[in-house]
């Protein structure tokens, strides 16, 4: 499989008696933007550090761009761009000086270096701050500088640990777009615990919890793991109390949970879980008609990644 850029088999990392990463296995193909998702302390950053040769694994194997991370670490490092969670920067250099230094360390020729720094500076929104000291920049701009240094040598693989940390909403949208654009021709691993980040950027998701890989699939595939259906119902009950409405809705065959939620003034709103995957909207509509309630809203809500993430990383049972 020549298009497999990263191959990980039973990768393990111990810190004394603590196992931070436990026999993780996955592969990443060229052109994939892979979201590496998990709660804080799940083992995401440790896995990233092993793939970038920053840490040696305790066990297992990993090959990046065809090279072993343990035996051929220099070859791996030539082919990756890495943005750690805590972006390491020389604050007493200007942005241009820092990117020039990075390009020199990467062994780039002067001709290629100048054109590449200009291009990547523009793509990362650094043109207006090129002459400023890195230490004088806001956290968001420092993050952009970190992303630029990871991309300046045009690597085959980008490994980004919390790449939008500290950015404002507009900057986040811009960086997400840049990552998606780069992912069309490169391999990108994006480590984060922010769900919207993954949904907006990634074509495939790995979820890690307690050092173990607990899910692997596209966003749609992971959402399909959730059983049952959820509905939002809002009614005006024409004098009937909210508890009575709740009792009637909760008594419908197939409904496993009916909870009152915030709704508009003068109306009763409920969140309803159903055990069956069949659509209950007709039955809920008929209940409103039969009880002479005015139906203001009836929505079947799709499962979201938040549900999947919570169920897989907290041990909670999936909603039924």
Whichever domain contains 144, its CATH number is: 3.40.50.300
- Facing residues of 216 across strands? 206
| Strand ranges in the chain using DSSP code E only, listed in sequence order | 4-15, 18-29, 33-37, 59-64, 67-68, 80-83, 157-161, 187-192, 204-209, 212-217, 229-236, 255-261, 268-274, 294-301
Q: Are residues 48 and 184 in the same domain?
A: yes
Q: What is the DSSP string of 235-261?
A: EE-TT--HHHHHHHHHTSTTEEEEEEE
Q: Is residue 312 part of a domain?
A: no
Q: Is residue 171 part of a domain?
A: yes
DSSP 318: P
Q: Is residue 317 part of a domain?
A: no
CA distance 61 to 70: 8
Q: Are residues 165 and 43 in the same domain?
A: yes
DSSP 53: T
pLDDT at 227: 65
Q: Are residues 72 and 169 in the same domain?
A: yes
Do the Cβ atoms of 198 and 191 come closer than 8 Å?
no
Q: Is residue 318 part of a domain?
A: no
Q: Is residue 287 part of a domain?
A: yes
Q: Are residues 212 and 261 in the same domain?
A: no
The count of structural domains within the chain is 2
Q: Is residue 316 part of a domain?
A: no
CA distance 100 to 201: 29
Element (H, E) at 125: none
Q: Is residue 174 part of a domain?
A: yes
Q: Are residues 124 and 26 in the same domain?
A: yes
> b/e for 217-237, b at 16 or more Cβ within 10 A?
eebeebbeebebbbbebbbbb
- Please give the C-alpha separations between residue 317 and each of 38, 212, 214, 225, 253, in angstroms, as whole numbers: 18, 18, 14, 12, 21
Q: Are residues 214 and 268 in the same domain?
A: no
Q: Are residues 200 and 274 in the same domain?
A: no
Q: Is residue 223 part of a domain?
A: no
CA distance 6 to 67: 9
pLDDT in tens, the chain (320 residues): 468 999 999 999 999 999 999 999 999 998 899 999 888 888 998 999 999 999 999 999 999 999 999 999 999 999 999 998 888 899 999 999 999 999 999 999 988 999 999 999 998 889 999 999 999 998 888 988 999 999 999 999 999 988 887 778 887 888 888 888 888 888 999 988 778 778 888 989 999 999 999 999 988 788 777 666 889 999 998 888 899 999 999 999 989 899 999 878 889 999 998 876 678 899 999 999 999 999 999 998 766 777 778 778 875 544 43
Contact residues for 130 (Cβ-Cβ < 8 A; gap 6+): 94, 95, 96, 121
Task: Using the 3D structure, point to which of 218, 250, 272 is the last residue of a domain.
Answer: 218
Q: Are residues 73 and 213 in the same domain?
A: yes
Q: Are residues 176 and 115 in the same domain?
A: yes
Q: Are residues 252 and 106 in the same domain?
A: no
Whichever domain contains 296, its CATH number is: 3.30.70.3100
The residue range of the domain holding 40 is: 4-218
Burial class (CB within 10 angstroms; exposed 0-12, middle 13-18, buried 19+) of 267: middle
Task: Using the 3D structure, point to which of 188, 218, 248 is the last residue of a domain.
Answer: 218
Q: Are residues 19 and 59 in the same domain?
A: yes
Task: Using the 3D structure, point to which of 199, 218, 237 is the last residue of a domain.
Answer: 218
**Cα angle vertex 191, ends 108, 31, to 5°?**
60
pTM exceeds 0.85 for this model: no
Do the Cβ atoms of 263 and 237 come closer than 8 Å?
no
Query: Cβ atoms within 10 A of the Cβ of 29, count?
Result: 15
Q: Are residues 195 and 236 in the same domain?
A: no
């Amino acid at each position: 499989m020549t298009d497999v850029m990263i191959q990980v088999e039973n990768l393990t990392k111990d810190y004394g008696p603590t196992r931070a990463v436990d026999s993780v296995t996955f592969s990443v193909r060229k052109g994939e933007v892979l979201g590496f998702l998990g709660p804080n302390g799940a083992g995401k950053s440790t896995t990233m550090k092993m793939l970038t040769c920053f840490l040696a694994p305790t066990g297992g194997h990993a090959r990046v761009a065809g090279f072993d991370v343990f035996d051929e670490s220099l070859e791996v490092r030539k082919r990756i761009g890495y943005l750690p969670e805590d972006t390491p920067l020389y604050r007493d250099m200007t942005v241009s000086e820092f990117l020039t230094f990075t390009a020199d360390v990467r062994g780039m020729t002067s001709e290629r270096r100048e054109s590449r720094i200009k291009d990547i500076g523009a793509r990362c929104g650094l043109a207006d701050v090129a002459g400023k000291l890195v230490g004088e920049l806001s956290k968001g701009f420092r993050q952009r500088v970190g992303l630029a240094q990871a991309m300046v040598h045009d690597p085959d693989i980008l490994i980004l640990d919390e790449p939008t940390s500290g950015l404002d909403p507009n900057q986040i949208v811009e960086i997400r777009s840049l990552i998606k654009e780069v992912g069309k021709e490169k391999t990108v691993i994006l480590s984060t615990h922010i769900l919207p980040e993954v949904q907006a950027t990634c074509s495939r998701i790995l979820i890690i919890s307690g050092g173990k890989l607990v899910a692997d699939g596209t966003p749609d595939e992971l959402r399909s793991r959730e059983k049952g259906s959820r509905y939002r119902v809002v009614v005006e009950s024409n004098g009937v109390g909210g508890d009575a409405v709740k009792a009637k809705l909760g008594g419908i065959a197939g409904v496993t949970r009916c909870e009152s939620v915030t709704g508009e003034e003068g109306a009763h709103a409920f969140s309803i879980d159903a055990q069956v995957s069949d659509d209950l909207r007709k039955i809920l509509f008929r209940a409103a008609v039969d009880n002479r309630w005015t139906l203001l809203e009836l929505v079947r809500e799709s499962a979201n990644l938040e549900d999947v993430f919570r169920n897989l990383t907290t041990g909670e049972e999936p909603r039924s």
